[in-house]
Structures are given as C-alpha cells and as structure tokens.
Structure 1
Amino acid sequence: MKLNRLFLLAATGLGLFACNDNNLVEGDAPNEILEEGTTYVGFTLDFGETKTRVEPEEEEAIEAESKINTAYVIVADGDKISQITSTAESGKYVLQTTPGSHDFYVVVNPKTVPTTANTVDEYFNKGVAIGADEFADTTTPSFLMVSGKNTFDIADGITKDQAIAGTDYKTNSFTIEVERVAAKVTMTCANPILTSENGNEAGGTISGIAFNLHGGATMAYRMEQDPFSDIKGNEWTYEVPGIDVLDDEDDYTQARAVYCLENIHTTDIYRKGNTTHLTLKTTFTPTNVVDCADEIKPLKPNTQDPGSSFYVVKEGDFAGNYIMKADLETYQAGDSDKMPEGVKVLSAEYQNGECWFGPIWIGEEFPDGELTEAPIHRNTWYNLAISKITLPGDPEEPDIEGKEEEPLYTPTNVTITLSVLPWHFIEREINLH
C-alpha cells in the first residue's frame, strides 16, 4: 500500500519577489506591458493552515512539523534546472518565464540550496544526509518538504499583478502540493493488562514507560522515488532514546513524537541491521515476592521502594515469581551461593526494576502470516498502542549486534490494527512479551 499523502498548501500572505536565473527580465516597461514571449506565473506555498486530520475531527499539526524556514520554486526544462525563486509577494511565489509547458518542483527547508547548475536528477534523486538531531530541533526545524514533478501549461500575456491576484490556471495561478520527508512515531498505553509468562499471581505495577528508536536511516531522497531504490551510503545508525509513552491510548495527539527517515527497501532485503525499530522499557514493581527463608513460605508483600532491583526465579518451587535483590542479599549475608528454599536458578538482575521488550518493527507487514517487510514511509504518522504487557520481559535492552543479517521475525505477541490518515496516521495494537 502506498502510504504517501500530499499536503495541500494554503496561502497566508508570505511576501514574495520574483527572482530568476534565466535572464528573463521585464526591462523598463510598466508591469502591465510585457515584453514579447514572456509571462508571469504564481504559486501558492504556505503551511500555516496545515492540519493533521483524524476523522471525524481535525487536529492541528504542531508548528515545528509545518514551519517554513526557506522555500524554493524550481523551473526545469527536462532534467536541467533553469529558474529558481525563493522570495514571495502577496502570498504567492512568482516567476517570469516563457509561455508553454514547464515542469515545476518545490523544496522547503533544504540544507543545500538548489542552483541552476544542478540537474533535477542530481538534486532530487540522490540521497542526502539528514540526522536525528535535525528533526529534534523544534525551534528551527529541518523537516525537509518537497514536491514531485508538476507540469503546468503556462498561458502567455499574464502580468505579475494578474498572476498574484489570479485563482486558476487561466491566470497562471497554481497550487503545488508537498510532503514531509520525515515519518512520525508515537506510542500510547492506556491501562495495559499485565500478565506473567509463568502464570504466577504475584501481581505488580508498571511505571515510567518509554521507548528508544534504533536503526534510523541516515540518508533520504529529497523526492519520493517510484519505484524505490536503495540509497547508496545509508548507514542505519542514528538512534533517539528516552521517548515517553503517553498513558492515554485515545489521545495520541498529545503523545511525545520522534521522527525518522523513511525505511523502504527493494524486494526481500529487510534485515535486522537495516530496519528501523523500537525497544520498550518499563519499571516494574512486584506486589508479592519470595520470602527468603530456609523453608518454603507463602509469598510476602513487597516492602521495597518502586524501582528496586529484583530477579525472576527460573528454577525451583518458586519458578516464575520475583525475588527482591535487597531481600536476597540480607538472607545470604555475604554467601552468594546460598539460596532460599524453593529457589534454584535466578535470572539476570533487573536493575532498578527495568524490564525491556522488543525489537518492535515500526512498519510491520504480515503477508501470509510471516513478517518479511517493515517499511516506514515518509510523511506518515505511526502510533503504536500497547494493549498488553507480558512480564517480565528482558533484564537488558534487546540488541541486534551480531544478528544484523538475520531476517525479521513475526512476534506472536504483537497484534496490529492499521489505520491510514493524513500525516498519515497509523495505529497499531501490540502485546509485548
């Protein structure tokens, strides 16, 4: 499914002045008197009213996701860039050009400014580096927004005033749609159901749910590719840690977001080392724990503070239950080999009560019941809604080191509900083990 959606740009009075790199000048004649073979064309380019639409209501996108720092309207003759304007007048970008059919492109907030020395292919169809730190800057954001190829038939004899005042193609007045290169990821969790791998009845509470993004692409095409081809030099290395999970499943619009570049590959090359994913961390506080003694005793209420370290009993009569590190050390009194009755083997330490889950592949697709792809598309919002957590998870953050070439797997503990809405909005329900 192609997830890319374009944003319609509404005019809001950006100031504009025509510049052109093709020596198409008016001369000394008044504005209403055009030199032979020239005409004006105006384009609406403004993100002020951009919405993140979620039916049945509309939610505004935050300013950083739609802010224009710089914008360039580009005219191309075939593959050659012939004219560029970056200034505005009365709400429209205006160019003086020749009548007839022309190709137009737009790029917003680029690090590298287009020039007439560029070709369309080298500027739009080559991978450019964009780092996670740039998306994290909400004060002067670097959300690269671009359009595809737009071909318009430009009428002759249209003055600048007519192009600015015009509302349709007959007066050389057009709107160009653009899309963000970034994708948006959020996670929500409302009263998750806690279960145990071993069915114990110890109970407990979780807090401080947060996720880390791993394996983000370091490069992207400025313009959408169809068909997509893999970008030479992409390293899949940037990471974004510590993103809070919103504890309100229904109000995802308030969730803290992280942004990443699209993660699309050609057929059958999705691997753990080149696929963007999340790891999830929670702090778990058991309600009832093993009472350390030389005889088997009933579970006792946990008296340790939230965030205290614990172990999971792996073998013995108390298998599947929790034992607090402080209680065990008091019982052992310096003899690390001494174990309470009913406890034979312990897990690794869950330091500070931290439990880890994942990897969670953000763009999961399950053809024929097996996970073979996990594409992330630009201009798309992915929300992962946690509906169930199966404890205890892992004592350390899942790591793909040494497993980079392994194919993705289909986790049986993840259920997905997919919705596609402009940004686009995607919601997934996931069960975590």
Structure 2
Amino acid sequence: MRKFIVILLLLVFILTSVAALFGQTKISPLNIKERTLKNGLRVVSLQDNASPTVAIHVWYDVGGKNDPEGRSGFAHMFEHMMFKSTKNMPNEKMDRLTEDVGGFNNASTADDFTNYYEVVPSNYLETLLWAESDRMVNLNVDETNFASEREVVKEEFRQSVLAQPYGRLYEFINSLSFQTHPYKRGVIGNLDELSAATTKDANEFYKLFYRPDNAVLIVVGDFEQAQFDAWTNKYFGRIASIKTKIPRVTVSEPERIAEKRFLQTAPNVPFPAVAITYFAPTSKSADAPALRIAETILSGGESSRLYQELVYKQQIAQEASFNADIRVDKGLLYFLSIASEGKSAAELEKSLLSELNKIQNSLVTANELQKAKNQLIARKLRELETNDGKAIAIERAVAFQGDPKTVNTDIQKLQAVTASDVQRVMKKYFTDKNRMVIYYQQEVGVNSK
C-alpha cells in the first residue's frame, strides 16, 4: 500500500511539473523575413544554420474549392502533373534532383491550397529554386502527361473511395453538409468529370492558377540571406507578371435553419456508422484554439472521452472521433463513429450526443484542459525542431491566417484557452439547428464481402 501511495504521489508530481512547464512555455519568435517580387510572388524565408539542410516549399492559393464547375479534381490532378516534364526538365526530374542527393520531395492538395516541397542538402538550394521556378511556368500540359495523370487520379479515387468500406462516407460528409459552397465536392475528384476533361481545360486551369502572384515561396534552413535573395530574383523574378484576373470563390454557404438527416448506403459496409456534422467558423476565428482543445479532449487518443465512453465502457463502437476541420471558409465540426457488431447507428448517435451534452453543460476538468494543451503544444514544439517542420508551420500560417508571422503566436493562443472557453464554443456551434446527421450502412440486398 505504501509503495502504491509513493507511486501515486510521484505521478501527481510529474503531471503537475509537466503542466507547469507547458504553462510557461515560451520560445523565441522565428525571425521570419518577407518580401514581394514585382510579379507578385511572396517570398518568406527563415535562416537557420543549425543543420546543413534546407526546406523549400511553394504554396499555391488553389485547392479543391477552386476546381472549375464540372471539373472536380483538377487541383488534385495538378499535384500529380507538376512532377511531369517541363520545357527544361524530363519526367520525374524533381525526384532525381532530391532523392539522388539524399533528400525528399512531395506535395499535397487540400480544399483551400496546394503545396509542393523538398528537403535537400543546402548546397542544392539554387538548383531547387531553379526547378520550382521552371515548373511554375513551363510545365508540359500535353495530351500524354494529362492522360497519364488523369488515370492515376481516377485509380486513386477507386482505391481510396470506392474500394474502402467507409470511403464513400467521407465523401458524403462534404457533399451532404454543403449545399452551395464548392467544399461540397471532394478534393480527389469525380470519375465522370475527370473522364470528360480535356487537355484544353487543363491548360486553362494551369495558366489561371500557377503563377507568381498566386504563390508563396517559403524557404527555411542553411543559407545566406543575400545569396538567397539574389537567387530568388534570378529565377523567380524573371517570370513575367500576369494580368488575367484570378477567379476566387465568392459564394457563401447559408446557415442551417433546421436539423437535416440522411440515410446513405454502399456495398461492402460491414458495420453501420454515423456522422454528425456542424458548421465551423473560419480559420481566422478567435474560437479556433478552443475548438482545437475540445477536439483533443474528446478525441485525442485512447484516454479521450469518446474512446473511453463508446469504445471501452459501452463497447458499442469500434471507432469514435471528433474532428475540428477548420478551413479558410466555413468548415466542419463533426463526430464520426463505426459500430461494434450488433450495434446500430442510432445507438452511436445517442451516445455521441450524450457526450456532447456533457461537455456543453459541465466545465472540462483542469487536468483534461492541461493534458490537451500539453498534447497540442508538445506537437507544435516537435514540429519546430526541423527545418521542414518550421516551413510547414509557416505555410499553415500563410494558408489559414494570411500572415506567416502568426506562427509565433500559436502556442500563446492555446495556453490562453480556459475551461469556460471550451464550454462556450461547444454551446455556440453545436446547436440542434446547425446539425446534420448521416446514417451509413450496407446496401439492402447486397452481401458484404
């Protein structure tokens, strides 16, 4: 018994110490430099000579929401196209320029943006700046490259959406939640619309969105500022300004005035599932940090509220999560759960709403609040340990706040969240009239495999 008490006291001491440590965590602000070239390219840089590497990110203000009407999946398809040949580079040259020198590259497409990035030894910085500037304006959008990557994207849709038991559910979450905003279209695209697209469509998209005044170059790592500025001027500064107006999304999603409910079916769904969505504020909202804290309390690992209640105690769910999908425009806050054998979507909904009521009607505990802050702050601190992590954080600040220097206030905003803030945002956004419910289950008359 004495040994147990000693261990318990030790654990209390450790948790208290960790809480105190993160409660007063202060890091030196990143010394970010920013300038804009005459052609409109924003250049953001952070010199850090701690390791002989450099991270190069090129962020484009074009995502799934910018896909032309009837051409969903174009932003995602160009994520693939940008690794094909240019006027000066053969197919897959970006791989050779990075992987062959011990580095790596990748890209991703979101609803609001597309980003491309490389991490290489710092003596290859000039080469990668040239390569990124080349594919910004000299990409070969020809029939061969277009047809090849269109088939790759279509196969990705088949594998990630059609072949997965719950792949369609994630598509329904967007398509049913949004009625007018282009967020209703999946970033990955639509098979029929991709099949109908032409090389002419692709060229028009490329010329509209892949241009210096629609991009931000972010470089972090081992370089000399004057030399970097000179290289940037040399390779990106020579790109001509474009006068064509960039089309922007101006439509607003109307507020919900009453709860909506849907029953959706699909083949090969072994267990029922439920999704409950609510509209979220925009990424610049002051409520975003409190919603991130709530997300972690409800769904941050196996000790979270949803896992403990639905999976461990009630044993009605295999999975139970809450996601704060905060975007540039109005995003989504949603619960998602997959039933255990013999359990129903209705049972899942009842338990999820019960957990929602608890966090709305009672303050989260001090320990829960501090634990969530610790998790989120530790994640941010780990991210800032590498050049690529710093570049990702800066890129996220550009994408969601419009200002790279807001990366320096992320931790303070999390630290400032109170239990009352969490309760307030959970009451504010999670109203009955702002709710949309999807029951998802096996198609009638179709056997699961």
TM-score range, shorter chain: under 0.3
* Higher RCO, Cα 8 Å, sep 6+: 2
- Which of 1 and 2 has greater Rg? 1
Q: TM-score, structure 2 length as denominator?
A: 0.22
Which structure's residues are more often strand, by fraction?
Answer: 1
Which structure's residues are more often helix, by fraction?
Answer: 2
